[in-house]
Structure 1
Amino acid sequence: MHKQTHIFLFLVIAILVSSCGKFEKIRKLTDEKKKYAAAVNYYKKGEFDKAGILLEEIVPIMKGGDDQEMATFYQAYCDYHTGNYQMANFRFKKFAEVFARSEYAEEAIYMSAYSLYKDSPQFNLDQSGTLTAINELQNYINNYPDSKFREESSNLIKQLRKKLERKAYEKAKLYYKTSPFNVATLKSAVIEITNFQRDYPDSDYNEEMAFLKVMSQYELAKSTVEHKQKERYDEAVLFYQALVDKYPKSDYLKRAEKFYDISMKESDRIAKLEAEYKAALEKEKSNTSKVVGAGSNQ
């Protein structure tokens, strides 16, 4: 059994050495056409790394003709298939510029945008690349409304927007989680939730966002300075009413009702204190006027 394993490994190594040796011999060829033929052969066999290396060496020295056009096109695809999406985006875009009349020009423009889609980062990272991918895909749809890639491009844009949506959702939640008793953070949480509701009105996260908005506003009112409390409790009440109106059967309603009840009571309490204070001021003002009036009559 061990002997058979050793023989198998020896054969694999021999094949690899032979293959590498053959590839290095091809790289040393000075005949441009033979080297290109070898690159195409590697490409069709799916050995994109080897095809890419050969094309990298010969494309700059190729002059005109169909070979240069196809070599440039294959080179862009080699970058794509080996995961070098930024370079693929560049090469596809360059191909469409240089060979604007090519039958592959439209496909190249689509692939330049698709390469950016593939390069889009995870939702928790910076999403500049995602925004760029969306813009390029949308530009492609606008410029080629009847393209066979139109529907796929629209679906790709939806997927990328879902990523932006998830990023915005997590950001809004993070503000509340970071410091639920910090006034500045709570204000930011309410702002981010409001922005999310505006930017993603059809999101599946909006029911939870509506609840978090009530809770964040309540915590903000409770933690804020006294002269701003009533206004902020009143806003918590409005946010609760918006939650009820839009999601009358929400599982969050029972929890949100607690914040609503306290906000109503606190708002009423503060309103009564303000009314009593105002009445006391008016009474004091009235008494002062009477004293001043009596003094002037003496």
Structure 2
Amino acid sequence: MKKNVLRLFVVGLIWLASCSPLTRVLKNPDINEKYQFALEFYENEDYYRAGLVFEDLLPNMAGKAEAENVQFYYSYCQYYQNQFDLAAYYFKQFYDTYRRSDFAEEALYMHAYSNYKATPDYNLDQSNTTKAIETMQDFMNRFPKSSYFEKAGSIINELRGLLEKKAYSIAKQYHRLRRYQAAVIACDNFQKDFPDSELKEEVSFIKMEAQYEYAKASIYTMKIERYEETMEYYYYLVDRYPNSEYMKMAESYFKNTQRELYDLNP
């Protein structure tokens, strides 16, 4: 008896689901009516249901005037559901398919902007950040007179700041972990990639300090060469930042390096 009741309950749930507005829309064979329902869901900001209906329409819209709108709105449905990787993909697909569309410029911008929204915190892998910069720069190159141009430039600067912060944290982390050779390389990469950074003075000091510790821990046959590189990094710091807040510590490392070289070259 209980099993029969349970079976009837399950059947009832299935029947109710089949009668839901969304299910009826998806089963509707009239494409035009289905399209109007999708627009209604979209205008009511029900992006989940709108996305399902637009997705159902996509393969059936080839050659129809509404095909362009379906793909464009479907891309936005992904975006508004925070599915930024999917949104970026579909906006780019739209742009590649409808380059003469009135929506083409917006679609390419939203492709880049979706990549921007998908970027992680600075302490995580920054592959998406690099991709966001590249796609935003591509947009600016293609649409230099766009109303989105200034915003795109601002986003690129923000993302470059994120990469700068990541590079700085890597150098600091290597130094903190006493992986001095890696710290020197990370500082060198930072100086090449971010020559105008406000952190370049500190990074120059970290590089010199890490090189000194690296030389100090080296085998005898490598010490002279590595201490001499420490001297080079010291002179670089003094030449560019004669009033550096790190000068007192830098001079201490300089004197220690001189003594070490003197002892190694009696």
User: Which residue matches 1:8?
Assistant: none
Mapping of residues 152-171 of structure 1, within 5 Å = 152-171=151-170
User: Which residue matches 1:92?
Assistant: 91
Query: SS state of the match for residue 146, structure 2?
Result: coil
Q: Is the 8 Å Cα contact of residues 234 and 264 (structure 1) preserved in structure 2? A: no
- Give 1:60's aligned amino acid: P
Shift of 1:73: 0.7
Q: Deviations over 1:237-292 (max 9, x none)?
A: 23223223322333222222221121122223333x1xxxxxxxxxxxxxxxxxxx
Shift of 1:211: 1.3
Mapping of residues 141-290 of structure 1, within 5 Å = 141-178=140-177, 180=178, 185-271=179-265, 273=266
**Which has the higher Rg, Structure 1 or Structure 2?**
1
C-alpha distance in structure 2 between counterparts of 1:234 and 1:60, whole Å: 68
Runs of 4 or more above 3 Å deviation: 20-25
User: Which residue matches 1:282?
Assistant: none
Shift of 1:80: 1.0
> Structure 1: where are the runs of 5+ without partners?
1-16, 274-298
C-alpha distance in structure 2 between counterparts of 1:194 and 1:62, whole Å: 54
C-alpha distance in structure 2 between counterparts of 1:21 and 1:248, whole Å: 74
Q: Deviations over 1:66-110 (max 9, x none)?
A: 322111110011011111122212211221222222111121111
Q: Deviations over 1:158-211 (max 9, x none)?
A: 222222222221222222222x2xxxx322221221121111111122122111
User: Which residue matches 1:64?
Assistant: 63
C-alpha distance in structure 2 between counterparts of 1:261 and 1:244, whole Å: 14
C-alpha distance in structure 2 between counterparts of 1:166 and 1:187, whole Å: 20
What TM-score, normalized to structure 1? 0.77
- Give 1:224's aligned amino acid: S
1:121 counterpart = 2:120 = yes
Task: Single out whichever of 148-157 and 58-67 deviates more from structure 2.
Answer: 58-67
Count of residues in correspondence between the two structures: 250
Query: SS state of the match for residue 66, structure 1?
Result: coil
User: Which residue matches 1:77?
Assistant: 76
Q: Deviations over 1:219-246 (max 9, x none)?
A: 1121112233233223222322322332
User: Which residue matches 2:131?
Assistant: 132
Task: Single out whichever of 166-175 and 243-252 deviates more from structure 2.
Answer: 243-252
What TM-score, normalized to structure 2? 0.86
User: Which residue matches 1:283?
Assistant: none
1:106 counterpart = 2:105 = yes
- Give 1:51's aligned amino acid: A
Higher helix share: 1
Shift of 1:47: 1.5
